Structure 1
Amino acid sequence: MNATLLFDVDGTLIDSYPGIRQGFLIGLDAVGWKVPDEEFIRRIPGPPMPETMRSLGMSEAQVETAMRAYSGYMSNEGWQRFDVFDGMDDLVARLAGEGVRVCTATSKSERFARAALDRAGMLEHIDFLGAASNDGVRAKKVDVIRYVLDQAKPVRPLMVGDRLHDFEGAKEFGISSVAMTWGYGADKEWELADYVARDAAELERIIREF
């Protein structure tokens, strides 16, 4: 098996929704913005947060204020509020132990991605940490994937994620992808992926047959 794995983080390796949701609400409150319905909020993990704020109709000044409040919360309590999805820590460790290259390709900032994966016990198994830049210049998933391809030079990359940004980003570079259904996406998004996995065991089978 000579594939290189590109893992999304939020919604794929870890369930970080509780922290992200609270940070989002704190950001909205900072500019007095009306809270959208829960269906919208459930979809916020994945895309860059400033992009989500803009989609609500905020001005750039409001986005800046909301993001300052969001980042303040996430820098302290927020990033720590997550759980590892069942079996993913064991799977990552096992594959890395077999010599499989394990990378990330996440829109989470480098700083928070490193901290979360370290806390989850997975950082030591990550061969290359592909993430959004801390300064926000590299933020979109397609830019992160390009960064990983340029820097890590992966052989037969396989993108594993949960949102359309993962699958569309992978297709941009002719990369196959796997949708994890326990994340924050929906059926229509998973249809964009080449494979669909419902748990760690199914994902492992797909990887080994890839």
Structure 2
Amino acid sequence: MIALFDLDGTLTDPKTGITRSVQHALERLGRPVLEADALTWMIGPPLAAGFAKLLGGSDEVQDAVRLYRERYSEVGLFENEVYAGIPALLQDLRDRDVRLFVATSKLQVFARRILDHFGLSGFFHGIYGSEPDHRNADKSDLIRFILDRERIDPAQAVMIGDREYDAIGARANGLSAIGITWGYGSRQELLDAGVACLVDEPEGLKEPIVTLTASTPRRAAGA
């Protein structure tokens, strides 16, 4: 049994750090600075894609990413909070011999620093994220990379996340996906993306993780 967890909006609530770092980038670029609540949609998609949408596809995207990381790497990644019930869930899953991995579009180095900071790294067999050159920022690419690197049978694994990108990436690689509703994606977004089920609190993840990873082999979408 193997479970891949998204990070932002799934294990931790990163709203303050991400939105303040986006605001920092906008201010440095001389762009209008939006309120935090108008920027929560930036939590989930690859950073460059989010800025491309926010800036209207301008040639300032790479500068925006650089400025964002300038603040986020020093301050923003710790403006974060572990969701209630997550440490107990991870401990219970480990006790049940479920192999746990992190699969996040965030830079891998940032993901590890966050998990180390909150004392969660020890629960995971591997922590995977994107690279500075944007490799593996797309969830489909990232999950494929993890499956290959760890030699994981997709039929024995499930992806858990709060946004459509998690479900789409899972389906592209033959995994089922569980949508969680305490993050930043809507219930409809997750259902439309094809999650196997929705879960409203961490405690509720145990049963579907065990059930979905015990299923028969599946073929990847489009295979």
Q: Which of the pair has the greater relative contact order for Cα pairs under 8 Å at 6+ separation?
A: 1
Number of residue pairs the alignment of both structures matches? 207
Q: Which of structure 1's runs of 4+ aligned residues deviate more than 3 A? A: 35-40
Per-residue deviation, residues 84-116 of structure 1 (Å, max 9, x unmatched): 111111111221233211011110111000001
Moved more, 93-102 or 46-55: 93-102
Question: 1:38: how far off?
Answer: 5.8
What CA distance in whole angstroms lies between the structure 2 residues aligned with 1:134 and 1:29? Answer: 22
Per-residue deviation, residues 4-28 of structure 1 (Å, max 9, x unmatched): 1000000001111110010011111
- List runs of 5+ in structure 2 lacking aligned partners: 213-223
For residues 120 and 6 of structure 1, do their structure 2 counterparts lie closer, same or farther at Cα, with a shift above 3 Å needed? same
Question: 1:31: how far off?
Answer: 1.3
Moved more, 123-132 or 88-97: 88-97
What CA distance in whole angstroms lies between the structure 1 residues aligned with 2:136 and 2:86? Answer: 26
Per-residue deviation, residues 159-189 of structure 1 (Å, max 9, x unmatched): 0000000001111112101011010101221
What CA distance in whole angstroms lies between the structure 2 residues aligned with 1:51 and 1:92? Answer: 30
TM-score, reference length from structure 2: 0.87
Aligned to 2:119: 121
Which amino acid is 1:204 matched to? K
Which amino acid is 1:31 matched to? L
Alignment of 1:40-189 (within 5 A): 40-56=38-54, 57-60=56-59, 62-155=60-153, 156-189=156-189
Aligned to 1:34: 32
Question: 1:136: how far off?
Answer: 2.2
Question: 1:34: how far off?
Answer: 2.5
* Secondary structure in 1 matching 2:42: coil
* Secondary structure in 1 matching 2:73: helix
- List runs of 5+ in structure 1 lacking aligned partners: none
User: Do structure 1's residue 205 and structure 2's residue 207 form an aligned pair?
Assistant: yes
* Secondary structure in 2 matching 1:207: helix
CA RMSD after TM alignment: 1.6
Which amino acid is 1:25 matched to? Q
For residues 81 and 37 of structure 1, do their structure 2 counterparts lie closer, same or farther at Cα, with a shift above 3 Å needed? closer
* Secondary structure in 2 matching 1:20: helix
Per-residue deviation, residues 142-166 of structure 1 (Å, max 9, x unmatched): 1111111111122411000000000
Which amino acid is 1:81 matched to? E
